[in-house]
Amino acid sequence: MAERNANLCPMTAIILLASLFLSPVAQDADSAGASSGIFDRPIVIGASVSDGFSMMRGQKARVDISDAVEAALVVEHGSVQHEASMMFFRNTRGSAEDQVTAAIEGDATLVIGVDYLFWMAFGRGDDKERKARFEFGLKQLERLDCTILVGDLPDMSAASKVTTPFGGAMLPASSLPKEKTRKALNKRLRAWAKKRENTYLVPLEKFLGRLHAHKSFSFRGNKIKKDGLELMMQSDLLHTTPAGTAGITLLAFDVLVTTRKDISPTAICWDLDEVVEAMEASGGDPEDATRKKTGDPESLRIAG
């Protein structure tokens, strides 16, 4: 278990009406979300994106989604407990169970798992095995009584076509579910979440789809240009850059404040550049981004 010291955004950004989602409702930042206690004990679970895997050279600091959560929250909150692991894929069921257990033991008030279900659908095995793993992942999440932000399953086929310096794609084609299976699992996820109180889906499929389509779009005042894919995704097209990590964190918070009327948008710093700056100011040694934290990047590549 790792906890992060609180690091506030340099200033609360002006919330613009030109949003990809619904417009916010004004409220004092000091009390936004405080009465619900949702930010008292936030815990991050998930795989390599949540854990900050990076092959980038010249990176200013080692950052992950826990750093992004700390940087984005401008309301009073507890330290973020980090349980995500980039080795999730090596033992999917064990990792899924252990991380949820840690969240329960940590008495989480908010669990953020944008890529928690990723390796339940992707990775080794046939689609029958993937469906079984996916159901196991949902069962683990059902053990949680707190608010959950969990990502859906994006189309990652582009990542299987990229050659990395390690002699192949980080995510080979054999690790992809069939497209009809991926869509079916997303449909299952939506139906499952709809029946659960305080479980919200982070639309990674839509977000990454726009990036891969090289379409410009805006959310919460952040204008993403047609070259947004290069801004937010690393060259392996599987892992996010610091800007991408901040972007999907803000996307998750957008879902939360749009759906939960007891949490004001003023609880969040929506300025992407400010969040990245704050992340990098508080992040770890950048050398750890490719060595100490991630280990050997080659060991994280799935064999085709």
3-state secondary structure string across the chain: CEEECCCCCCCCCCCCCCCCCCCCCCCCCCCCCCCCCCCCCEEECCCCCCCCCCCCCCCCCECCHHHHHHHHECCCCCCEEECCCCCHHHHHHHHHHHHHHHHHHCCCCEEEECCCCHHHHCCCCCHHHHHHHHHHHHHHHCCCCCEEEEECCCCCHHHHHCCECCCECCCCHHHCCCHHHHHHHHHHHHHHHHCCCCEEEECHHHHHHHHHCCCCEEECCEEECCCHHHHHECCCCCCECHHHHHHHHHHHHHHHHHHCCCCCHHHECCCHHHHHHHHHHHCECHHHHCCCCCCCHHHHCCCC
- The answer on pLDDT for 46 being more than 70 is yes
- Tell me if 202 sits within 8 A of 152, measured CB to CB: yes
Task: Tell me the pLDDT tens digit for each residue of 127-186.
Answer: 999 999 999 999 999 999 999 999 999 999 999 998 877 677 889 999 999 999 999 999
Query: Distance between CA 43 and CA 62 in Å, rounded?
Result: 19
Residue 119's pLDDT is what?
97
Residue 49's pLDDT is what?
96
Average pLDDT, the chain: 85
Query: Distance between CA 111 and CA 26 in Å, rounded?
Result: 25
Task: Tell me the pLDDT tens digit for each residue of 18-30.
Answer: 333 333 333 455 5
Residue 295's pLDDT is what?
41
Residue 188's pLDDT is what?
98
Domains and CATH numbers, the chain: 2-279 (3.40.50.1110)
Q: What phi and psi, each to the nearest 5 degrees, are found at residue 127?
A: -70, -25
pTM, entire model? 0.84
- The answer on pLDDT for 249 being more than 70 is yes
- The answer on pLDDT for 34 being more than 80 is no
Q: Give residue 58's pLDDT band: very low, low, confident or very high (50, 70, 90).
A: low
Q: What is the arithmetic mean of pLDDT over 60-88?
A: 94
Q: Is the dihedral of CA 298, 119, 228, 83 positive or negative?
A: negative
Residue 55's pLDDT is what?
77
Task: Tell me the pLDDT tens digit for each residue of 164-179.
Answer: 776 778 899 999 999 9
Q: What is the arithmetic mean of pLDDT over 35-60?
A: 87
Q: What is the arithmetic mean of pLDDT over 45-61?
A: 84
Task: Tell me the pLDDT tens digit for each residue of 86-121.
Answer: 999 999 999 999 999 999 999 999 999 999 999 999
Task: Tell me the pLDDT tens digit for each residue of 2-14.
Answer: 555 544 455 443 3
Q: What is the arithmetic mean of pLDDT over 219-240?
A: 94
Q: What is the arithmetic mean of pLDDT over 73-98?
A: 97
- The answer on pLDDT for 125 being more than 90 is yes
Residue 31's pLDDT is what?
53
Which pair of structure tokens corresponds to residue 207? Answer: 């977000």
